[in-house]
């Protein structure tokens, strides 16, 4: 059985990744492909507990290295429990965030650098690489405003506090944004950059086009 595909969606908080991951999953389903939809942090019982620590604004004074270690603990569990079995079964796995997020947020935002992130990915995650990464980079101010409104609604309606990162200053997010751009320049064959304050439908159209091209390539090389 041929290996499946790992498609990741990346971007700033509030960039629309989760919405686009869900739309992509429906797009694939309409074409007779049943994808596996995963999010990080989270997506497993262990990962959801780690997510609660990482995103809760009450988790104060987490050392940057502790934060990064927790991200990789979550990812290793997701790979072992969900992602790798899905790929081995020939599935298309659509993952909302992967190691690019750690490189951008901890490597860039926390200023730990890319080298440490990539080395941990090699050691802990077996250097598993996405086949395609869809990087959403709308304007910084608009993204953060959406993320903060969303988290406020979630906390009010469900009592879930996931606003820890959104409380960071703009300088932190400028470093994250810059690191994402660096990744896109470094790995143009893997990363499709979707930039600017586009509408939901416009972003989906670009995603569908990129995924369709990748599916054709998979068929040609199968």
Q: What does pLDDT average to in each consecutive run of 10 residues of the chain (222 residues)?
A: 89 91 97 96 96 91 96 98 97 98 98 98 98 92 71 60 80 94 97 93 97 88 69
Class of domain 5-221: alpha beta
> How is the chain split into domains, by residue range?
5-221
CA atoms within 13 A on the CB side of 194: 28
Report the C-alpha gap between 7 and 213 in whole angstroms: 13
Q: What is the pLDDT of residue 150?
A: 62
Q: What is the pLDDT of residue 98?
A: 98
Q: What is the pLDDT of residue 205?
A: 97
Q: What is the pLDDT of residue 147?
A: 65
Q: What is the pLDDT of residue 140?
A: 78
| Token pair 């989906």 in the structure block, residue | 204
Q: What is the pLDDT of residue 175?
A: 95
């Amino acid at each position: 059985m041929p290996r499946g595909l790992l498609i990741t969606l990346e971007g700033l908080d509030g960039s629309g990744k989760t919405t686009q991951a869900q739309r992509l999953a429906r797009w694939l389903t309409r074409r007779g492909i049943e994808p596996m939809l995963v999010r990080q942090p989270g997506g497993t019982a262990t990962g959801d507990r780690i997510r609660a620590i990482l995103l809760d604004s009450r988790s104060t004074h987490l050392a940057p290295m502790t934060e990064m270690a927790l991200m990789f603990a979550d990812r290793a569990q997701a790979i072992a429990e969900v992602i790798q079995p899905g790929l081995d079964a020939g599935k298309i796995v659509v993952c909302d965030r992967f190691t690019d997020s750690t490189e951008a947020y901890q490597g860039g935002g926390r200023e730990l650098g890319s080298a440490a992130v990539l080395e941990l990915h090699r050691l802990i995650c077996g250097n598993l690489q996405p086949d395609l990464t869809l990087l959403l980079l709308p304007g910084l101010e608009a993204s953060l405003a959406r993320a903060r409104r969303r988290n406020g609604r979630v906390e009010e309606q469900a009592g879930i506090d996931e606003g820890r990162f959104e409380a960071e200053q703009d300088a932190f997010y400028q470093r994250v944004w810059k690191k994402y751009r660096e990744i896109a320049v470094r790995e143009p064959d893997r990363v499709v950059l979707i930039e600017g304050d586009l509408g939901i439908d416009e972003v989906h159209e670009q995603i569908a086009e990129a995924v369709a091209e990748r599916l054709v390539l998979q068929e040609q090389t199968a």
